[in-house]
Structure formats: C-alpha cells, structure tokens
Structure 1
Amino acid sequence: MTKRVLVVEDNELNLKLFCDLLRAHGYETEPVRDGREAFDRARAFNPDLVVMDISLPHVSGLDLIRTFKADAELKAVPIMAVTAYAAKGDEESIRAAGAEAYVSKPISVARFVSAVAALADPA
C-alpha cells in the first residue's frame, strides 16, 4: 500500500523538490503551501507522515506540530520538521513540540529520503 505524505512548505521550489523526491520513491504526496490549511488538509488526506516546514507565514510550524499532536486523529502521525534554522536549541524545541525527526535545510537528499523512510515505513 502506498504511503501518504503531507508536505507543508511555503517555498514553492522546496515544496516541488520534496514532493518530487517523495513521488520518485513511491510515496503519494499532498502539497500544502499555506500552514493555515495544514490541519484541515491533514484530516482529509489521512497521511502516514507529515513533512513540516517550521518557518511559515501566518502560523508557526511549531504551533502546527502542537496542534497535530493534540488531535485524537492526528497525534499518532509522525512529523518530520524541515527548517533552515539550525541554531543551538532549535532541534530540542522542535522535538519538544512533538516532531519525531528534524532535517535542516539545505537538505541532503539521502538524509531526507532516509528520514522519511524511517518514519513512514518503520520495519
């Protein structure tokens, strides 16, 4: 069965890159450009994994992670945070919000795909 990945990313180039990479590795993707739509789209799409940008306009990726983890239907869905912010303490605050994984931008394609597989297809 094809795994489903919701990709929340406001940068059009990154959104296309992430979705193209995921599709090339056999995942079905649902791109979300506006974080304000992420929660409703996730409930409709029923993803196996969420790839979440942290720096979004209008709403914080950290707040979205907390919202997902507080929801009965979505709390078990793993979240992989992707961010350009790599300051000391950022990974800890991202994981404290509820993300199961953290990948910094610019991404390493191999690391990105490996992290997705570990979360979406646990052995």
Structure 2
Amino acid sequence: MKTTGSKKKILILDKNSRMLSVIDDIMYYGNFDVHLTYDPNAIYDKAKVIHPDLIILDYLLLDMDCALVCQDFKDDEQLRQVPIIVVTAFKSKKAELESYKCDALFVKPLDMELLASRMEYLMAS
C-alpha cells in the first residue's frame, strides 16, 4: 500500500501489546504515522488531539463495551468521519459490523493483505 503526500495517521488501541505484530505489518505495508495508546479510557482524548485518519481497536483489550467506544466516536462532530476497524478473536460472539458500530471488522488471525486493502479503502473514502 503506497501513500502520497503527507503520512496518514493511524491510532491503535493496544493495552497489552497483543497488536504489536499487526503494527509491524502495518508499517511494512505503508508509510504511516502510527500512534499507539495502551489505555482504553484515553483513546478518545488522544483522537481529539491527533485527528487520526483511521482508528484500530482490539476488542479483547477494551475494559468497556466496544460498541460504546465506537459510538462515542460516531457521535462526535469532529471524529464521526474517522473510520474504525475492530480486530477481534471472537469468531462466534456477534462478529458483525452492526454489533460494534464500526466500519470494518477483522477476526484473528488476520489476513494482512486484506487488512491493508481495507485500510487503504477506508482512508481514501
């Protein structure tokens, strides 16, 4: 995935370093400005400061309901257009976009080429 102009900003929630391999792969597929937070309670405030082009949440890491976190972003005038990707290990627990109120949902293990393609599409929209 190639980007033109300024680097796209990606904000990733990774409380327990479970997404580090994904972050490495994201950096391999494109030249991004990756911002990482380990605190689920701080992701909204961090997004307000950095104005990301994409947000990636690891569902297992959230101490609160993932749908509520996504809804906070969608309810915010400044952040509602920022696409959100949820990554989950749950294959059977309502793995639907509507359940999480996100723009894309990926079940682990991740197909990085598919994830990269979806990231590119969401950031171009």
Shorter-chain TM-score bucket reads: 0.7 to 0.9
Asked if 1 retains the 8 angstrom alpha-carbon contact of 2:59 and 2:88, the reply is yes
Paired residue total = 119
- Code of the residue aligned with 1:5 in structure 2: it is I
Q: Which residue in the other structure is 1:10 paired with?
A: 15
Pairing of 1:4-83 with structure 2 (within 5 A): 4-14=9-19, 16-24=20-28, 25-83=30-88
- Higher-helix-fraction structure: 1
**Residues 113/49 of structure 1: CA separation in 2 closer, same or farther (3 Å cut):** same
Distance (whole Å) between structure 2 residues aligned to residue 100 and residue 9 of structure 1:
19
CA RMSD of aligned residues (A): 1.7
Structure 1 residue 88 displacement after superposition: 5.7
User: Which residues of structure 1 form unaligned runs of 5+?
Assistant: none
Distance 1:107 1:44, change over 3 A: same
**Which of the residues 84, 100, 112 maps onto 1:109?**
112
Q: Spell out, residue by residue over 1:22-76, the C-alpha distance to the aligned partner (whole angstroms, 9 max, x if none).
A: 2221111101111111100111111001011122242222211011111111111
Normalising by structure 1, report the TM-score: 0.85
In 2, Cα distance between the equivalents of 1:5 and 1:101?
A: 15
**Offset, 1:96:** 4.5
For residue 110 of structure 2, what is the amino acid of its counterpart?
I
Question: Residue 119 in 1 paired to residue 119 in 2?
Answer: no
Secondary structure class of the residue paired with 2:42: helix
Q: Which amino acid aligns with 2:106?
A: V
